[in-house]
Chains A and B, each alone.
Chain A
């Protein structure tokens, strides 16, 4: 029997300006019926491009320059538009990374669900609606009878991701491409989605290509794993073989990446004055209270990690500290002296002391300014340097973040990689010569190798400059790597706080335990074990609780 999907020596190119540069270099891929193939690599490895090519689809500015893609015997590269269109959505379906962005905000979920079956003539609307409700049941969505009749913005991220999987299943396709379906989700939500996807793919015997950069995730989902690096295949093996005996150096380096861990610094002395005290802060957006009685201290030279799921109030706490959101109650003290609630009432020196680094280096840097301008602006503002001395200071900052000034000074952000952009964000924060830097999910948009480089840089800067960090993150591996103290937040309250070693040693607060146990492990049986421990029913209830 022929394999369902057979890709031979596929070459894909993308255009930047006038030049075509390679994205995929002669990759082979074979997928049997009912098989799940994991596709793994860093960003820029060509995973998504390859996944889409398996559907015979390329994005604008991308072209297939050689090779073949055969789906069930049909040559997708030379097939007519009409032939391909009749396959898409019916026999090959796609699940995108961000369900929130991939559902049309103007239509109800159910209307988007029935579109493929109705338009392809597989089912009429009534049948498809009934089928959708059944699929929602199978995917353990809360209120399966009604949830489809909501608009995307009325449904949470994890539920949307499952609804999108249901939509992909609507025509019972032979093949589904999952393109990083859980990357944007919290760890606790991720588990529900992973379990739901795996069950339904099993039930219908659907073949799948599962694209991700998270090894631990792919270990739960795939029968076989293919590792990509800059458009080249590194190696392919069954999941267990790959985990136990990775052959190539690159694969081994991916496996070892979570190795960085900083020893916890000794506890501050009893008379140490915290550099920042958040004292009983309550804050609200309009009527909605989002922070309640939040208190914690950050001592000089130390790193406090604030962890929690999205919506737990981590970033809002940062907004209160920086004065963007004046609190409704409580106070923020800097070295014992209360800070004015709004940033407009703060002195230049007070502003200088606390700086911020953002999650999306892409959007936090002005794309039309050179790196020297971006870093030079706070230098001029806070220290008043001009001319040659300004330039010397900018170069010094660039050296501190390990970027060669001669190369990077005049570049634009668009010419930098994600990790380099984040370094520029760090230099911009350093330019003010602050005592405290708030890092808001600074590594969560980066690949693990790059993220580790950023964490090492931050650790080095802390040692050299005596900085304090408030580290907002939902990634517990990051916490393990860099934190001295941990503050766990949920629904606007601090649930638990303490030194890192204590937090990672049982017994935990139940919520901390849930967070910790939800981090995927590099063990193909981890998800099964966890589901067995928690019980699938409990998962369903948990989903219902989140409503």
Chain B
């Protein structure tokens, strides 16, 4: 067991290091964006003095490394800074409106995104793995081919197209679900779930194909193994052979693909949010880029990066744990 703990700690340290490097890249890249918040806010006719004043006020006149160090130090303590756009220059008077901090901006949006990702994962992961197992069990049958074609066509269609088709089918022709997902604080769980269901279904259609095909391939890859033949020669049923003998050995690749798709659910769902007017973090991110609201953009990027790294790390650790050679050394 000691070696597993060591490997897990190594991975964690590596994950933190990756996050640090990514944070530097984010900070550098965001500051390379053309345009300038002060200029954007004050418009074309602003006097150079006014622009310079705002820049000084926001600390934009300091050198990049100094600003990075300050940002990183604050971020490590949980202070992601103050949104330029929301600050409303309250800082001119020395007061910071609590609702203007980046954290206050991001927190509710992030919670919404996690809710949507969670609902989607709860539908998509069991569906994909189940379909994958059945496709492997009934390989080369009509079911296998049908599942393949269906999932491939849904992944090949643009997200907004899938979204509008679902709206047409489930909100317009058969009005069973609301087409707008304008959720807000204070809603009950049931209401939230109902409003989230359509975007979640859309995303399910987008992410299922990958996971299902990997499940099927990973299982079929093992079917020529001598221990699978042995299970058959012991008179075990095909489903039992797959669930008990193939699946435990196929977990590592499956878990990795699941992690990649879950990361996508956190970081890549802007289009779906826009279609359903869902107040997630993706929309906030796009708005902030438009406004050159650098602290918010940076914080969003950092959260995206952290989600990616954390999910892949989890997948790595789960793959390690699924290997009995590592769990039970000689």
Contacts and interface: CB of A to CB of B under 8 A. Distances in A.
A106 B324 contact: yes
A115 B234 contact: yes
B324 A153 contact: yes
B234 A88 contact: yes
B98 to A, nearest CB: 53
B325 A105 contact: yes
A85 to B, nearest CB: 5
B324 A94 contact: no
A115 B236 contact: yes
B248 A106 contact: yes
Interface in A98-142: 98, 101-107, 115-116, 119-120
A387 to B, nearest CB: 42
B249 A154 contact: no
A55 interface: yes
A101 B225 CA distance: 7
A102 B249 contact: no
Nearest to B247: A106
B233 interface: yes
A94 B233 contact: yes
Interface in A55-104: 55, 57, 59-60, 84-90, 93-94, 96, 98, 101-104
A57 B235 CA distance: 11
Contact of A119 (B227, B236, B248): B236
Contacts of B328: 150-151, 153-154
Contacts of A55: 233
A96 B228 CA distance: 12
B229 interface: yes
B75 interface: no
Interface in B202-258: 224-227, 229-237, 240, 244-245, 248-249
B235 A116 contact: yes
A151 B235 contact: no
B230 A94 contact: yes
B324 A88 contact: no
B95 interface: no
Given A151-B324, A153-B325, A154-B328, A104 B237 contact: no
Contacts of A153: 324-325, 328, 330
Interface residues of A, number: 31
A57 B236 CA distance: 13
Nearest to B223: A60
Nearest to A100: B226
- Could you say which of B224, B229, B232, B234 has the most chain A C-beta atoms within 10 Å of its C-beta? B234
**Chain B interface size, under 10 / 10 to 19 / 20 to 34 / 35 or more:** 20 to 34
Contact of A103 (B227, B248, B330): B227
Contacts of B234: 88-89, 93-94, 115-116, 119
A89 B236 contact: yes
A85 B235 contact: yes
A291 to B, nearest CB: 20
A67 B229 CA distance: 24
A57 B227 contact: no
Contacts of A115: 231, 234, 236, 244
A236 B256 CA distance: 55
Contacts of A52: 233
B235 A104 contact: no
B249 A105 contact: yes
B232 A102 contact: no
A3 B324 CA distance: 44
A103 B245 CA distance: 10
Contact of A107 (B225, B235, B240, B248): B248
A85 B237 contact: yes
A57 B233 CA distance: 8
B235 A101 contact: no
Contacts of A103: 227, 230
Contacts of B330: 153-154
10 nearest CB pairs, A to B: A89-B234, A88-B235, A106-B248, A89-B235, A101-B226, A104-B227, A94-B233, A102-B226, A102-B230, A116-B234
16 contacts: A55-B233, A57-B233, A59-B229, A60-B224, A85-B235, A94-B230, A96-B229, A102-B229, A102-B230, A104-B227, A104-B230, A107-B244, A119-B240, A153-B325, A153-B328, A154-B330
Given A93-B233, A102-B229, A107-B248, 13 more contacts: A85-B236, A94-B233, A96-B226, A102-B227, A104-B231, A105-B227, A107-B244, A115-B231, A119-B236, A120-B235, A151-B324, A153-B330, A154-B330
